[in-house]
Chains A and B, each alone.
Chain A
Amino acid sequence: MKARVTVTLKNGVLDPQGKAIANALAALGIEGVENVRQGKFIEVELAETDPARAREALERMCKELLANPVIENYRYELEGA
């Protein structure tokens, strides 16, 4: 099954890249952008077919590698589960 993992910066963590994107959008003349936060999107193909076990594996992946718990939050969804 396929999992989609989203990693985002925690609230309160400064995101200079997000700020730069917001500035660039303003420079393009796109109005009304109040804030931009940049994160990561990761697709993972799993051999596992049991959703519960797949979630267990994803928890471990996110905690140990995909996200840095000091500054990032993560969430994931399983396709078809």
Chain B
Amino acid sequence: MKASVIVFPGSNCDRDAAVALQSVTGKPPQMVWHGESELPKSDLIVLPGGFSYGDYLRSGAMAAHSPVTRAVVTEARKGVAVLGICNGFQVLTETGLLPGTLMRNASLKFICKDVHIRPERNDTAFTRLYETERAIRIPIAHKDGNYFADDETLTRLESEGRIAFRYCEEDGAVTDAANPNGSQRGIAGLYDERGRILGMMPHPERVADAVHGGTDGRRLFESLIETSQ
């Protein structure tokens, strides 16, 4: 699998993503700087976490209009798998590839802690190796992760199977108490119509090796390899 990691000024999880990808695929991903207007051939494009362009105006708003993101949108429309993590999810909503937006956390605080999320489906390229509705433990680290869309959109997303992950208790129950940031309907991650683009606030690359204290995120990358082979 050929993976590319996009690097914006202010990205800070690009190297973590690269380490996770290298460990799973056996080779280093291509790191692509934000000024590039063309992408190397890729089976997977990762938009990493961080604070692209200092989160100026709105999180992800500037990055959504950078030259490399135009190329990412073109590739995404062709069906190349795209994974947006944290700030990458914010960029995906700002480009319009994913609906809705990520607002300031309801608590107004930056939250950095482990949470539980559950995959709603395991028939996509990203979640093949997970069990549905079974909680995994994964860290979040964000201030703008409060997913918002209007009710009509939320209901449509649910009926189309577009919810990738929801915040949940350790036993998989989706409760208000398990929702760290006020996200509508507990949404932690979202797919596009074809299930080829995934945006998620939690960080799978931070639980991809036993030394991280968990490996629940590793299966996401392994699912992608299995799918592309």
What residues make up the interface of A, taking CB atoms closer than 8 Å to B?
A: 13-14, 16-17, 20, 64-66, 68, 70-71
Closest beta carbon of chain B to A37's beta carbon, Å: 13
Bound CA span A66–B94, Å: 11
Q: Are A71 and B57 in contact (CB under 8 A)?
A: no
Which residues of chain B are within 8 angstroms of A13 by Cβ–Cβ distance? 103, 148
State which of B57, B106, B149 has its C-beta within 8 Å of the C-beta of A70: B149
Interface residues on B, range: 10 to 19
Which residues of chain A are within 8 angstroms of B103 by Cβ–Cβ distance? 13-14, 71
Which residues of chain A are within 8 angstroms of B71 by Cβ–Cβ distance? none
Main secondary structure of the interface of B (DSSP, over half): loop
Number of residue pairs spanning A and B whose beta carbons lie under 8 angstroms apart: 33
A-B contact pairs, 10 of them (CB 8 A): A14-B103, A14-B148, A16-B105, A16-B106, A16-B182, A65-B61, A68-B61, A70-B100, A70-B149, A71-B148
Q: Are A70 and B61 in contact (CB under 8 A)?
A: no
Q: Which of chain B's residues 89-138 have a Cβ closer than 8 Å to chain A?
A: 93-94, 99-101, 103-108
Q: Are B58 and A16 in contact (CB under 8 A)?
A: no
Closest beta carbon of chain A to B168's beta carbon, Å: 22
Bound CA span A66–B149, Å: 19
Q: Are B148 and A70 in contact (CB under 8 A)?
A: yes
Asked if B77 is an interface residue, CB under 8 A from chain A, the answer is no
Bound CA span A80–B108, Å: 39
Which residues of chain B are within 8 angstroms of A66 by Cβ–Cβ distance? 57
Asked if B41 is an interface residue, CB under 8 A from chain A, the answer is no
Closest beta carbon of chain A to B143's beta carbon, Å: 11
Bound CA span A64–B57, Å: 12
Specify which of B57, B93, B106, B182 lies most central, judged by the most chain A CB atoms within 10 Å of its CB: B57
